[in-house]
C-alpha cells in the first residue's frame, strides 16, 4: 500500500503545472503600427504569485505586415507525437475568430520541409470556467493531429506527423481587435507549462526574446488552408480510415 501511495504522489507531482520557467518560456513580440503584445496588470485572472492579475494582451489592426504574437521557447526538437494539448482562457467580449488568436505550429519534417499548422480560437468549442467573463479553448492531441493530417500538403501528412516542433506561437494578425489571454498552457508527454503572468517565465531557457525567422514570417502570411477554418466536430468527423491509420502509425513509432 505504501508503494502504491508513493507512486500516486510521484504521478501527481509529474502532472503538476510548471510555473518556474525552467523548461519553457513565453515571449510577446509585435510587428507594425497599432500593434501590441505584452502582459498587462489588472486585465486578467489571478496570477500564480502576487495580485497583479496580469493578462497576455495581443492587439493588431488586421492589415498586411502587422501582427501581435507570443512565442514559446524550449520546445525545439520535441516530437509532434509528444505534444498532448494546447489551451488558453480568453476574456469575453474580445477577439476570438477562426483565425485569431491562433496557435501556429511550425513542424520540421524528417527532411528539410517545414509545415505550418494553424489552430484558430473559434474552431474549437468554448468551455466555461469558474468566471463567466473568461472562456477556455483547448486543442487536444487528437484534434492537433487531425489538423496536421488535413492541413499538410497532399502526400506530406506522414512526414509532418513524424516530425518535430520547430516553433510554436500564439498569433493575432488577420482579425482587427484585441484579445486578452490567461492561463496559457502547453502540455507535452514530459512537461506541462502554464503561464498566469510574466513572472512564470522565471529563469527560463538560455537566450533572449525570440522572434519569427524570415521563412516563418513568409509561411504566416500565406493563406490558411480551408480545413483550418472547419469546426472541430466537422474536422474530426472528416478523418478517413486511411488518415487515421497515418495518425496511429505515427503514435506507435519508437
Predicted TM-score (pTM) above 0.85: yes
Cα separation, 158 vs 144, in Å, equals 14
Give me the pLDDT at residue 203, please: 57
User: What DSSP character marks residue 65?
Assistant: T
pLDDT score of 11: 35
What nine digits make up the cell of 164?
A: 518535430
Low-confidence ranges of the chain (pLDDT < 70): 1-22, 203-209
Is the distance from CB of 52 to CB of 143 less than 8 angstroms? no
Buried b (16+ CB within 10 A) or exposed e, 195-234: bbbbbbbeebeeeeebebeeebeebbeeebbebbebebee
Sequence-separated (6 or more) residues with CB below 8 Å from residue 127: 135, 136, 137, 138
- Largest interatomic CA distance in the chain: 62
Is residue 95 within 8 Å of residue 171, measured between CB atoms?
A: no
pLDDT at 127: 97
Tens of pLDDT along 50-96? 999 999 999 999 998 999 999 999 998 899 999 999 999 999 999 99
Distance, in Å, from the CA atom of 47 to the CA atom of 201, rounded to the nearest integer, reads 12
CA end-to-end span of the chain:
33
DSSP-derived secondary structure for 176-208: -EEEEEEEEEEEESS-EEEESSGGGGTT-SSS-
The per-residue pLDDT for 54 is 98
How many C-beta atoms lie closer than 10 Å to residue 51's C-beta? Answer: 8
Q: What is the pLDDT of residue 9?
A: 37
Conformational region of residue 53, where left means phi above 0, alpha means psi within -120 to 50, and beta covers everything else = left
* Rounded Cα gap, residues 21 and 204, in angstroms: 4
Closest CA to 64 of 28, 32, 87, 92: 32
Structure confidence at residue 17 (pLDDT): 54
Amino acid at each position: 500500500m505504501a508503494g502504491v501511495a508513493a507512486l500516486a504522489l510521484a504521478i501527481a507531482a509529474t502532472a503538476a503545472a510548471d510555473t518556474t520557467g525552467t523548461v519553457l518560456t513565453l515571449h510577446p513580440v509585435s510587428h507594425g503600427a497599432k500593434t501590441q503584445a505584452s502582459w498587462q496588470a489588472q486585465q486578467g485572472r489571478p496570477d500564480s504569485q502576487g495580485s497583479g492579475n496580469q493578462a497576455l494582451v495581443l492587439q493588431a489592426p488586421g492589415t498586411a505586415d502587422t501582427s501581435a504574437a507570443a512565442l514559446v521557447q524550449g520546445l525545439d526538437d520535441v516530437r509532434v507525437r509528444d505534444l498532448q494539448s494546447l489551451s488558453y482562457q480568453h476574456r469575453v467580449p474580445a477577439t476570438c475568430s477562426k483565425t485569431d488568436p491562433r496557435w501556429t505550429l511550425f513542424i520540421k519534417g524528417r527532411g528539410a520541409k517545414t509545415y505550418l499548422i494553424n489552430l484558430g480560437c473559434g474552431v474549437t468549442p468554448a468551455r466555461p470556467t469558474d468566471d463567466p467573463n473568461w472562456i477556455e479553448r483547448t486543442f487536444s492531441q487528437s484534434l492537433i493531429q487531425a489538423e496536421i493530417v488535413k492541413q499538410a500538403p497532399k502526400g506530406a501528412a506522414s512526414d509532418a506527423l513524424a516530425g518535430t516542433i520547430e516553433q510554436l506561437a500564439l498569433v493575432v494578425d488577420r482579425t482587427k481587435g484585441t484579445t486578452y489571454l490567461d492561463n496559457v498552457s502547453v502540455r507535452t508527454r514530459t512537461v506541462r507549462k502554464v503561464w498566469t503572468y510574466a513572472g512564470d517565465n522565471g529563469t527560463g531557457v538560455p537566450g533572449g526574446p525570440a522572434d519569427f525567422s524570415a521563412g516563418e514570417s513568409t509561411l504566416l502570411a500565406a493563406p490558411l488552408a480551408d480545413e483550418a477554418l472547419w469546426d472541430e466536430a466537422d474536422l474530426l468527423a472528416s478523418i478517413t480510415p486511411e488518415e487515421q491509420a497515418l495518425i496511429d502509425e505515427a503514435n506507435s513509432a519508437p
